[in-house]
Chains A and B, each alone.
Chain A
Amino acid sequence: MSTHETKGSGLKWVGRAIRRLEDPALVTGQGRFTADLPATHWVRFVRSPVAAGTIKSVSFPDGARVITAADLTGVKKITPMLHKFSYRPVGQSILADGQVRYVGEPVAIAVASSEEDAEDLADLVEADIDETPPLVDARAALADGAPQIHAEAPGNVILEGKVQTPGFDSVWDRAAKIVAIEARSHRQNATPMEARAGHASYDPSTGRITLTCTTQMPHLMRTAIADLLGMRESDLRVIAPDVGGGFGQKMSLCAEYVALVWLARKLKSSVAWTEDRRENLIASFHSRDQYISLEGAFDQDSKLLALRADVVSNVGAYSCFPTTSGVEPLMAMAEMPGPYDVQQYQCLARGVLTNTCTMAAYRGVSRPVITFTLERLMDKAATAFGIDPIDIRRRNLIGTFPYTSAMGLVYDEATYKETLEMAVAAIDVPAFRARQQAARARGQYLGIGFATFSERTGYGSPAFAARGMAITPGWETVHLTVDPSGFVEARIGSSPHGQGLRTTLAQIIADEIGVAPDIIKVIHGDTDTAPYGWGTFASRSLVISGGATLLAARKVRAKLLKIASHMLEAAPEDIVLENGSAKVAGTDRTVTIAAMAREAYTQTHRFKGEIEPGLTESGTYDPPGTFSNACHVAIVAVDIETGFVRIERFLVAEDAGRIINPMIADGQVHGGVAQGIGNALLEEIVYDESGGILTANLADYMPPTAHEMPPIELHHLETPSTQSITKAKGLGEGGSIGAPAAVVNAINDALAPFNVQIDEIPATPQRIRAALRDATNSARSRESGNLGATL
C-alpha cells in the first residue's frame, strides 16, 4: 500500500510509476553477471583459518600452481588514507605477508583449469601459522596491554574523532535531567544475493586487461588497481555488468580483484573467481559492530539541550578503500543529533582495529545504529518525564529550515514533524493503546515503536572533503547523445545495480527533450564507454547523476531548439519539444527529433558554422547534499514465553523530495525495511573467542525471508529539495535506517510491564527471554528480600 501527496511537478514522465526498463532482461533470465563468463583459469583463495598469527610456511603439491605473497613482488599494499582525526594508515597486502590478522584473510591462491580443480587444489594447500591470541571485541582491543594488531596504530585506535561545542559544559551543568543509554549493535554482513565475483582477461593484441567484477564503482577500481600494480590506467578496463545487489559491500576495493588482474597479466590469459556464500559471510566486508554510550541532557520541559556520545566502532583488521575505517565512526559523530534540535554536543568516536573481517559501508552506514541509539534514548526520556514518546518527539524535532546542526551540517527543508503526524494519524494510536491494554489482560504483549530520522543523501565532494579523505568522491558526469537515428543514449559515471536508474534517468531526459523514456538507453558500468564517475552508493545517484543528467539534457534541449529553429525557420522561443518532435507553437509546422538528429550529423554544412556538428552534450553536478526524512512505526507482538517477536504492522511516512518514479521509490523503502528488520531481530555475525565465525551459512546467519516480512504501509510527502536541481532527494538507505529503532522501541513498549530494557540489536528471542528472566529473578529476589526482612 502506498499513498502519494504530489505537489504537482507539471511534468509528463517524472512522477509516474512506469515499469523499469531494466526488468525484461532480468526477469527472463537474460541478465549477464560476472560468473557467466567463461575462463581459462579458475582460482580459489586459500584463507587463514586462524585470526592472528605468523605464517611459517605455505606448502602445496609439487607442480601445482599456487601463488603466495612471495610471488607478488612490487605489488603495493592497499593503504587507504584520511588526513584528519589522527588517522593511522595501515596497509593490507594482497596476500597475507608474514602476519595474518583475521579468519578468512587470503593467504594463497590456488589456480587450476576449472573451478572444481581449483577447489580441490585449495584443499591441499597447507598454511603453517604460529597462532597468537586474537582480539575480537573492540572494547577488549582498547584495554591496556592489549596486543597490537598493527604497529602503526598504537592502542589499536586507527582514528579518533573528537568534538565539543563551545557552550556544552554550561548547558550540561544546568540540565534538569540526564538520560543515558548503553547501546550495542552486533556485527552484520550486507548479504547481497550475488556474492563477489571477478574475471580478468588479457588481450594479446593490445596487452590490455579487462576486469569484469561485481562492483559499485568501476572507475575507482580501475584507478586503485592500476596504482597498486603500477599499470597505466589506460591499460586496464573495468566492467561492472549486471550486479546482484551491493548495499555498500561492493563499493570497497577487495584484494581478490587486485590478485585477479595481477594473475591475468602474469598468465597472459583469463582468470576467474566466484565467491561462495560461506566465503562472503566470513571474508567479505562486515559492518555495524559498535558500542555507543549516549547521554541526553534535557530541561524540565523535556527539551533536549545537549548530547554526549562515546562511539566505539569495531573496524576489523584493515581499513577499507576508498572510505577508510572512518566510514562508520565519523558518520556516527557527524550525524548523531539526527532530526532533533539540539545545539550542544560532545562526541568521542573511535575506530578500533581487531582480528576480525574488515568493516566497510553497509546501507545506512552508521545511521541504523545511531538512530536506534538516539530513538531508544528519546523513548527512555519520555518514560523519565512521564510523557508519551510521540510528545517528546513533537517537542524536539526540527521545524524551521534551513537548520544548522551542532556539527555544522545544513539541513534543507524537510518534514520531520509532518511525517510523524502523518504516521500518528494513520496508526490511530488511541485505538492501539486500548487494544494493547486489553491484550495485556489476556497475557499478550503488544507494543508500538516510533523512529524519526534524517537521511543525508546526495552529498558531493565538499562533504567527503570534510572527512579529510585522500580520495574525495562527489561529483558525477553524464554524456547525453541523440544519435543520427534519433535515439538517445546517456553515458553515466554512476553504476546502478538494482536501483532502477536506467528508468529514472530516462524519465528525467524524456521530460526535458520531449521523447518517450523507452527510446533512451542509459549506459553505465564500463570504464571504456562511460565517463569517469564515482559509482552508486550513499543514496547519491538519483540526486547527483540525476542532476548531471538534467544539466546535460537542458543543453541537448537548447541545441535541439537551435536546430529546429534553423529547420523550421522560426525563433527558438516559439518552438516546443513534445512527443518526439519540435513544433512551432500554434502551427502545424513540425520536425521530428530523428530528422533533426540526422541533420545534426549529416547536413552540418547547412548550419553555416552557426551550430556545432553532432548532438552530444555533457553535464557535471556536485551538490552540497540534501536531507530526506521519515517516520517509521512498528507494532509488534512479543511472545514472552519464547521471546519471539512478530511484526504485526509496519508503517513508513517518508519525504524524499520530488519522487521521480513512485514504484521504484516504494521498492527502495521495502528493501531497506527488510534489511532493517533483519538488523533489528535476526542478523548477526558471531565470532567465537578464538576469532572463528560461527555464522558462516544462511541457516546460522539469518536474513529475513518473505515469511518474516510484514506488509509495509507507505505514505509519502514530497517537499521539493532546494539543494538538488531535480528537486529529488535520495532514499536508498532510509528503510534500513529507521526500522531497527522502530522495531526495538516497539519491543520495549510491549515489555513495559516487566521493566525490561532491550538496548541491543539484533533483539533475538534469546536476548529477550534472558532480559525477562533477569527481570523476573530480580523481582523475586526483591520479594524474598522483603520476606527476609519480615522474618
Chain B
Amino acid sequence: MKPAAFIRHVPKTLDEALKVLSDVAPDDGRVLAGGQSLVPIMAFRLAKPAHLVDINEVEGLQHIACDGKTLSIGARVRHAAFHKPVVDGPLGALLSYVARHIAHYPIRMRGTFCGSLAHADPSSEWCLVSATLGATMVVKSTRGERRIAAADFFEGIMSTALAEDELLAEVRLPLLAADTKFGFYEFSRRAGDFAMASSLVTYRLAGGKIADARVGVGGAEPSPRRIAEAEAALNGNAPGEDHFRAAAAAAADAVEPLEDHQTTGEYRRDLVRAVVHRALEHSI
C-alpha cells in the first residue's frame, strides 16, 4: 500500500461517527467517504492522516429527499446517483447534466456529492453548483448542528469553514422554479480532467427579459462564486449574443485568476470569458 499507516474506524451510526471523529480529530483524523480525492493524496503521502473515519456504513446518510422547496443530499450519495434526474424540473435536469462532466465513470460510481464539497477543489463541479445555487451545508458534530451558507463555506483552495471534528452530513439545494433556464460549460484539456474553468448560469425570463440571473464561475479562483458584474450585465436584458458577450467579458474582468506553471492569469481570463459565454449559449 502506498499511504502511510493509519487506523480505519467504521462507525455504523451517525452518533458513533461523530463521537469517533471528535475523538480522533485532534490526532489528525479525517472523514473517508468516496475517497476519490483523499486516497490519491494519501497515496502520494501528501496527506498522512493517522485516523480515517469511514462513513460508508453509517445509516441515515444515503438519502436524496425533496420537501417541495429543497433538495437534501446525504453524505453517502454518490455522483452517479445524479446521472438520471433525482427530482422533476430544472434542478434535476441541471444536476444530471453537470454530473456527466465529473471525472470518469468509475470515479462517479464511488465519489460523493458532500465529499466533493468538503474537499473543496476549486474545479469541483458540485462546489460550483452549490455556490451558484446558494446551497446550505448541514454540518454536525458532537457539539451539535449548524448550517453554513455556500458563500461562507468555501474559504479557499481545499479549505472550508468545517471544523476538524465536523461532518458535512447533508447539503440542501433550493429547487429551481419550473421556468428556470440553465447552462453549464467547462473547459479541460482532456475529457474528465479537472476543469481549468467552468461556469453555471441560471435565470428566468420576465416579459422576455432576464431576471434572477446567477452566473457562477469555478476553477478560475480559489473558490467558485457568483459574479455579480456578469449577473448585472444580464438582468433586465433580453437573452442574446450581445448581452451574453457582455456578461462573459464582465466575468473575465471580475475574476482574480489562479495561475500555475502552464496557465497565466491572462489565459485563465480567456477561459472564463469562453466558459461563461458558452454556458449562456447553452441556456437557450
Chain A interface (Cβ within 8 Å of chain B)?
A: 115-116, 119-120, 123, 276, 278, 639, 641-644, 682, 686, 688, 694, 697, 699, 702, 704-705, 707-708, 764-766, 769-770, 773
Contacts and interface: CB of A to CB of B under 8 A. Distances in A.
A705 B261 contact: no
Contacts of A766: 262-264, 267
Sorted nearest first, the 3 A-B pairs with minimum C-beta distance are A707-B191, A641-B274, A694-B261
B192 interface: yes
Given A120-B4, A278-B44, A642-B274, A686 B262 contact: yes
Contact of B271 (A115, A116, A642, A704): A642
B4 A123 contact: yes
A705 B189 contact: no
B266 interface: yes
Nearest to A642: B274
A699 B189 CA distance: 10
Contacts of B2: 119, 276
B1 interface: yes
Contact of A702 (B187, B189, B263, B271): B189
B190 A773 contact: no
Contacts of A639: 274
A682 B262 CA distance: 12
B250 to A, nearest CB: 16
B39 to A, nearest CB: 13
B193 A642 contact: no
Contacts of B1: 115-116, 119
Contacts of A278: 44
22 contacts: A115-B1, A119-B2, A276-B2, A639-B274, A641-B273, A642-B270, A643-B270, A682-B189, A686-B261, A694-B261, A697-B44, A699-B193, A702-B190, A707-B190, A707-B191, A764-B189, A764-B262, A765-B189, A766-B263, A769-B270, A770-B266, A773-B266
Given A120-B5, A123-B4, A707 B192 contact: yes
A641 B274 CA distance: 6
Contacts of A694: 261
Given A642-B187, A642-B274, A770 B267 contact: yes
A702 B188 CA distance: 11
B194 A699 contact: yes
Nearest to B274: A641
A639 B185 CA distance: 14
B45 interface: yes
Contacts of B5: 116, 120
A404 to B, nearest CB: 44
Contacts, number: 60
A595 B3 CA distance: 60
A289 B4 CA distance: 35
Contact of B193 (A120, A643, A702): A702
Contacts of B264: 766, 770
A644 B271 CA distance: 10
A688 B192 contact: no
B42 to A, nearest CB: 12
Given A120-B5, A641-B277, A642-B274, 13 more contacts: A119-B1, A119-B2, A276-B2, A639-B274, A642-B187, A643-B270, A644-B187, A682-B190, A702-B193, A704-B190, A708-B190, A769-B270, A770-B266
Interface string B265-284: 01100110110010000000
Contacts of A697: 44
Interface in B200-215: none
B261 A708 contact: no
Contacts of B191: 705, 707-708
Contacts of B271: 642
Greatest chain B CB density within 10 A among A764, A765, A770 is at: A765
B30 to A, nearest CB: 19
B262 A769 contact: no
Greatest chain A CB density within 10 A among B189, B264, B267 is at: B189
Contacts of A116: 1, 5
A569 to B, nearest CB: 68
Contacts of A702: 189-190, 193
A210 B1 CA distance: 26
